[in-house]
């Protein structure tokens, strides 16, 4: 199993989607400081489920998402995907059938991560379980970052033991042990809870036994009580039946009284209806006479109004007649004067006539319009015919005055004729008015008579209505009494039915004989005994049976859990036994490889892992003796010596359980050229088993790499990757 490719998008400085291929077994990652080489190592750690921001060289987990640069905007999420070649079936179980296995992790700004295995959604635990025992687990020795080398040498005994356990492949057993121990704790807790429940159920059973006995005693007393109650109910039932029969007789008597009242009321209602009919007929006649009376009054008003109009017209005509007579006198005078003045003063005459005509016209304007129209026209014609200022003839004036005089005389005759006619009409109207006045007096007398008769009919009707109201009140009283009797009857029926229902419940109760008073006294004593029993749990017998079954179930569950607990203890012991065996075998094998690896790296010397004590969970200490030096503390070693010692340990672990790949981040930095050559030589030997991916600045390491990945940062804050096949490059350089 080896790492095929790494896909990055939005992770730290790798903002653009990129796929990095790892075709060789020794892949070097090169580039200047700060260009993002170590971000590749962080990406591989992150996709495995790392949750420590410090381990990822960040302040928070959200910092792994590209946060923008001078020329690029921040992104909202990041993703990393690892693809493994599983053609050798390194990953077994459900992944045995896959030649390639991919692991992917995505995360947004909200900090929520999503995991995928072969594009199927998975849990973080599923990803971690996938790598358990492969060297890539939580205690991975396959990823050696900057600064880890020195800390690995100075690691705590427990940490060193965890590395060996990872190499031994027992971390998965440890995980199973932890799960089993957790199950044991939960099982023990369940057993404890079940035992508490069992104790509670036992106490409940004891209490329910006492309550069940009390219930049994109560039922016996209740049976005897029912025998007494049955006797008393039967006695009461006989009394109720008699009272019910009496009530029915009373109701029948009341019904008879109601029928009598209804018959009497019906007779009076008949009389009232006749009186109403008579009253309505009288009202109709009265309305007719009143209508005639009002019509006659209206006619009298019209005649009187007409008379007023005729009188006013006669007055107008008389006034007009007087004015015409006056005008005729004036015209005669004017005509005489005109004849005298015409001979000597034609000019003055013209003025005089003009003045007189104007005066006549002004007088005529106050007359009626028809007079003004007829006479005024003649005067206007007189004026137009020549009697303007300076114009006109005396003969023409005389003719005109004569014509005007004639018209006045004709109008006077017409007025006198009209007055005679109007007086005749008025006389005729006066004779009809007297008849109408007499008729109105006759009608008024009739109306008064009809109103008197109407009042008598109303009085009679009120008397009948009063009698009907009294009968209705009497009926209401009788009905109220009957309703009370009916309610009493229904109450008796209900009580009878209740007694009968109670008797039905006593079907299994014996009939007893005796006196009612004695039975009642015995019943009272028995009820006192029942009261003295206190509260009764009628469900106690059924509850007791249920609690007994519950206790049996709890006992069975406790037995099952105890059996399961015993099996889990055996499984723990088996896991511990197998784990200890595998651990010691692995420890011996690691020490064997350390004896070989250490001299290869140092050109001699000795190194070994040693248990602190004899306990099963004893930690380990790393011992080393460099060639030509006495035993000393590892903390006193130089940086290069620490690096080589740590690499010897890592390579020994790889020899036991080769991880799919090994990531080395500038582990050769503290090494000189000679030690670098030893390191590279050892890596080359180990590359037959393990794929190495290392970040380096060392030219020797670069030259020995089969494939180089160049990381650049042309745009500030954005990393790019350039892949170079070293062997092809060498062939091109030599050709």
Q: Each residue of 177-191: pLDDT tens digit?
A: 777 778 778 888 888
For the chain, give percent helix, strand, coil, nearest 5: 65, 10, 20
pLDDT, tens digit (0-9, with 9 covering 90-100), for 547-599: 888 888 888 888 888 888 888 788 778 877 888 888 888 888 888 888 888 88
Whether residue 392 contacts residue 386, with contact meaning beta carbons closer than 8 Å, is answered with yes
What does residue 21 show for φ and ψ, rounded to 5 degrees?
A: -90, 145
Q: Is 46 exposed, middle or buried (0-12, 13-18, 19+ CB in 10 A)?
A: buried
Whether residue 669 contacts residue 700, with contact meaning beta carbons closer than 8 Å, is answered with no
Whether residue 659 contacts residue 653, with contact meaning beta carbons closer than 8 Å, is answered with no
Say how far apart CA 329 and CA 361 lie, in whole Å.
15
368 dihedral zone (left: phi>0; alpha: psi -120 to 50; beta): beta
Q: Give the pLDDT confidence score for residue 322 in this predicted structure.
A: 80
pLDDT, tens digit (0-9, with 9 covering 90-100), for 587-614: 888 888 888 888 888 888 888 888 888 8
pLDDT, tens digit (0-9, with 9 covering 90-100), for 282-327: 777 777 777 777 777 777 777 778 778 877 877 877 887 788 788 7
Q: Give the pLDDT confidence score for residue 102 in this predicted structure.
A: 93
Q: Give the pLDDT confidence score for residue 87 in this predicted structure.
A: 81
pLDDT at 279 over 80: no
* Residue given tokens 């006749």 in the structure block: 274
Whether residue 174 contacts residue 579, with contact meaning beta carbons closer than 8 Å, is answered with yes
Q: Give the pLDDT confidence score for residue 453 in this predicted structure.
A: 75
Residue 225 — pLDDT band, cuts 50, 70, 90? low
Q: Give the pLDDT confidence score for residue 121 in this predicted structure.
A: 93
pLDDT, tens digit (0-9, with 9 covering 90-100), for 76-93: 999 999 998 888 777 766
pLDDT at 48 over 60: yes
pLDDT, tens digit (0-9, with 9 covering 90-100), for 438-450: 777 777 777 787 7
pLDDT at 266 over 90: no
Q: Give the pLDDT confidence score for residue 332 in this predicted structure.
A: 74
Q: Give the pLDDT confidence score for residue 106 in this predicted structure.
A: 95
pLDDT at 368 over 50: no
Q: Give the pLDDT confidence score for residue 139 in this predicted structure.
A: 60
Rounded to an integer, the average pLDDT of 106-121 is 93
Q: Give the pLDDT confidence score for residue 9 in this predicted structure.
A: 94
Q: Give the pLDDT confidence score for residue 108 in this predicted structure.
A: 93
pLDDT at 158 over 50: yes
Higher pLDDT, residue 221 or 13: 13
């Amino acid at each position: 199993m080896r790492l095929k490719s790494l896909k990055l998008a939005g992770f730290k400085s790798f903002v653009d989607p990129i796929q990095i291929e790892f075709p060789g077994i020794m892949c070097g990652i090169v580039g200047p400081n700060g260009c993002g080489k170590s971000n590749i190592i962080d990406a591989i750690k992150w996709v495995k489920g790392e949750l420590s921001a410090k381990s990822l060289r960040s302040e928070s987990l959200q910092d792994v998402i590209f946060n923008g640069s001078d020329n690029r905007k921040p992104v909202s999420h990041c993703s990393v995907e690892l693809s493994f070649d599983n053609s050798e079936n390194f990953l077994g179980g459900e992944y045995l059938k896959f030649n390639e296995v991919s692991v992917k992790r995505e995360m947004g700004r909200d900090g929520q991560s999503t995991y995928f295995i072969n594009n199927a959604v998975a849990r973080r635990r599923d990803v971690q379980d996938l790598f358990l025992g492969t060297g890539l687990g939580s205690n991975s020795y396959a990823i050696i970052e900057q600064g880890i080398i020195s800390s690995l040498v100075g690691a705590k005994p427990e940490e060193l033991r965890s590395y060996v356990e990872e190499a031994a492949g027992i971390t998965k057993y440890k995980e199973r042990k932890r799960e089993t121990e957790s199950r044991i704790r939960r099982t023990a807790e369940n057993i404890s809870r079940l035992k508490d429940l069992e104790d509670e159920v036992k106490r409940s059973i004891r209490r329910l036994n006492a309550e069940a006995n009390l219930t049994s005693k109560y039922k016996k007393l209740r049976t005897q009580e029912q025998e007494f109650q049955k006797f008393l109910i039967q006695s009461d039932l006989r009394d109720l039946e008699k009272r019910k029969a009496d009530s029915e007789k009373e109701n029948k008597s009341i019904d008879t009284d109601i029928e009598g009242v209804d018959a009497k009321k019906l007779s009076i209602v008949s009389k009232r209806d006749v009186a109403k009919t008579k009253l309505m007929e009288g009202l109709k006649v009265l309305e007719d006479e009143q209508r005639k009376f009002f019509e006659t009054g209206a006619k009298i008003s019209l005649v009187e109004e007409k008379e007023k109009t005729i009188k006013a017209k006669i007055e107008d005509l008389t006034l007009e007649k007087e004015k015409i007579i006056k005008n005729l006198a004036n015209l005669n005078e004017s005509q005489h004067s005109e004849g005298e003045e015409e001979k000597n003063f034609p000019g003055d005459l013209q003025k005089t006539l003009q003045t007189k005509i104007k005066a006549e016209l002004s007088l005529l304007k106050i007359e009626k319009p028809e007079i003004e129209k007829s006479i005024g026209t003649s005067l206007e014609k007189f004026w137009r015919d020549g009697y303007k200022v300076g114009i006109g003839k005396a003969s023409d004036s005389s003719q005109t005055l004569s014509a005007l005089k004639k018209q006045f005389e004709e109008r006077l005759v017409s007025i006198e004729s009209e007055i005679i006619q109007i007086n005749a009409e008025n006389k005729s109207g006066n004779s009809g008015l007297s008849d109408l006045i007499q008729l109105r007096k006759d009608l008024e007398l009739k109306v008064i008579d009809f109103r008197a008769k109407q009042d008598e009919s109303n009085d009679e009707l009120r008397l009948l209505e009063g009698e009907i109201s009294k009968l209705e009140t009497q009926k209401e009283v009788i009905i109220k009494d009957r309703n009370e009797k009916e309610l009493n009857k229904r109450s008796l029926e209900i009580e009878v039915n209740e007694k009968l229902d109670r008797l039905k419940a006593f079907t299994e109760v014996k009939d007893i004989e005796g006196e009612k008073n004695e039975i009642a006294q015995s019943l009272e004593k028995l009820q006192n005994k029942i009261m003295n029993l206190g509260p009764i749990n009628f469900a106690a017998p059924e509850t007791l049976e249920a609690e007994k079954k519950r206790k049996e179930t709890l006992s069975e569950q406790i037995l099952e859990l105890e059996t399961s607990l015993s099996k889990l203890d055996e499984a723990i012991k088996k896991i511990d036994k197998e784990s200890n065996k595998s651990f010691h075998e692995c420890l011996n094998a690691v020490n064997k490889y350390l004896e070989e690896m250490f001299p290869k790296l140092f050109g001699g010397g000795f190194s070994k892992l040693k248990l602190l004590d004899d306990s099963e969970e004893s930690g380990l200490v790393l011992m080393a003796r460099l060639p030509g030096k006495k035993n000393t503390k590892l903390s006193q070693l130089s940086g290069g010596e620490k690096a080589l010692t740590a690499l010897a340990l890592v390579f020994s672990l790889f020899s036991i359980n080769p991880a799919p790949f090994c990531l080395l981040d500038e582990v050769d930095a503290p090494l000189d050229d000679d030690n670098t050559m030893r390191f590279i030589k050892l890596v080359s030997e180990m590359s037959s088993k393990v794929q190495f991916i290392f970040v380096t600045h060392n030219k020797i390491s670069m030259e020995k790499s089969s494939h180089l990945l160049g990381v650049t940062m042309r745009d500030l804050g954005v990393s790019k990757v350039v892949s170079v096949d070293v062997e092809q490059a060498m062939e091109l350089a030599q050709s």
